[in-house]
């Protein structure tokens, strides 16, 4: 149980375009999802907390207008990187949790390369 | 910012040896988690700890939640080649449910 699916696993886009990444909880309803960013040989850094039916909460230093998060259902959260630039190239990972479950399951990640 | 100190940064060991790594925090955590991450993949949960002093095993893995609630260790016994990867500790404070802080990771390399 507690499977989180992330799609796509990798994407290459041109500078200035937008990219959408999906995070789905397959066998449970995730009231909260989290988006992390990981640079090569570094740890995971929390970008934002996505709550179903409400606005996302962004960590300090994360541009909410660049990283749009939508959590329209209990099983799906999306992260859209708008007007992507090469410095946005990174590994983006989502996690999902159900309150009271204390489970923190991660997706398999999305490698974004902006050229 | 990151408040977890994870050590060692890397370990090169021979197959069959034991591995030990630890994390310390400047904050009190109510949850400690240990993950393994393979290249190009998301982290996979190995062990979750929820009570101070808790000692939990998962096969050859053993982890403990420190009494002070500011530290945790992970041991891997009798290492095998598939133990290669990066191990991360992660913690959650009482006032930030679900928001994990990650250590910098420990790179484990196992040689035959």
Confidence of residue A100 (pLDDT cuts 50, 70, 90): low
Higher pLDDT, A3 or B21: B21
* pLDDT for res A28: 82
Cα nearest neighbour of B89 on chain A:
A43
Query: CB-based burial of residue B56 (10 Å sphere; 0-12 exposed, 13-18 middle, 19+ buried)?
Result: middle
CA dist., res. A28 & res. A31, Å (int): 9
Percent of the residues in chain A that have a pLDDT greater than 70, as a whole number: 94
Q: Chain B: give the shortest CA distance to residue A18, in Å.
A: 22
Minimal Cβ distance to A43: which of B41, B97, B103: B103
**Residue range B1-22: mean pLDDT, rounded:** 91
Confidence of residue B99 (pLDDT cuts 50, 70, 90): confident
Inter-chain contact A93–B31, Cβ cutoff 8 Å?
no
Minimal Cβ distance to A104: which of B45, B103, B104: B45
CA dist., res. A22 & res. A78, Å (int): 5
Q: Evaluate if residue A91 carries a pLDDT over 90.
A: yes
Strands, DSSP E only, in chain B?
4-7, 10-14, 19-25, 29-37, 44-49, 55-58, 61-65, 71-76, 85-93, 101-102, 106-111
**Residue range B40-54: mean pLDDT, rounded:** 94
Q: Chain A: give the shortest CA distance to residue B79, in Å.
A: 23
Residue B56 — φ and ψ, nearest 5°?
-130, 140
Q: Taking CB atoms and an 8 Å cutoff, what residues of chain B touch A49?
A: 98-99
Minimal Cβ distance to A93: which of B42, B98, B103: B42
CA dist., res. B110 & res. B112, Å (int): 7
Strand partners, A46: A36
Confidence of residue A3 (pLDDT cuts 50, 70, 90): confident
Question: Per residue in A22-50, pLDDT tens?
Answer: 999 888 888 889 999 999 989 999 999 98
Helix (H, G, I), strand (E, B) or coil at A37: strand
Q: Evaluate if residue B10 carries a pLDDT over 90.
A: yes
Interface test with A, best of B9, B98, B104 (most A CBs within 10 A): B98
Q: Which two tokens stand for residue A93?
A: 């990972």
- Using a CB–CB cutoff of 8 Å, tell me whether A58 touches chain B: no
* pLDDT for res A99: 58
């Amino acid at each position: 149980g507690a499977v989180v699916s992330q799609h796509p696993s990798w994407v290459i886009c041109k500078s200035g375009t937008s990219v959408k990444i999906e995070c789905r909880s397959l066998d449970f309803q995730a009231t909260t999802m989290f988006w992390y960013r990981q640079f090569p040989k570094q740890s995971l850094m929390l970008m934002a907390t996505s709550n179903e039916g409400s606005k996302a909460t962004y960590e300090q230093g994360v541009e909410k207008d660049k990283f749009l998060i939508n959590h329209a259902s209990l099983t799906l959260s999306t992260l859209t990187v708008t007007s992507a630039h090469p410095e946005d190239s990174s590994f983006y990972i989502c996690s999902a949790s159900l309150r009271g479950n204390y489970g923190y399951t991660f997706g398999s990640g999305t490698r974004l390369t902006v050229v | 910012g990151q408040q977890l100190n994870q050590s060692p940064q890397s370990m090169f060991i021979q197959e069959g040896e034991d591995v030990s790594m630890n994390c310390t925090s400047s904050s009190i955590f109510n949850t400690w988690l240990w993950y393994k991450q393979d290249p190009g993949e998301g982290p996979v949960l190995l062990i979750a700890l929820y009570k101070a002093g808790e000692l939990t095993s998962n096969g050859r893995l053993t982890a403990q939640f420190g009494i002070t609630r500011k530290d945790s260790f992970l041991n891997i016994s009798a290492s095998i080649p598939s133990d290669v990867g990066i191990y991360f500790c992660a913690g959650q404070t009482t006032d930030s449910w679900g928001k994990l802080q990650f250590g910098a990771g420990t790179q484990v390399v196992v040689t035959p």
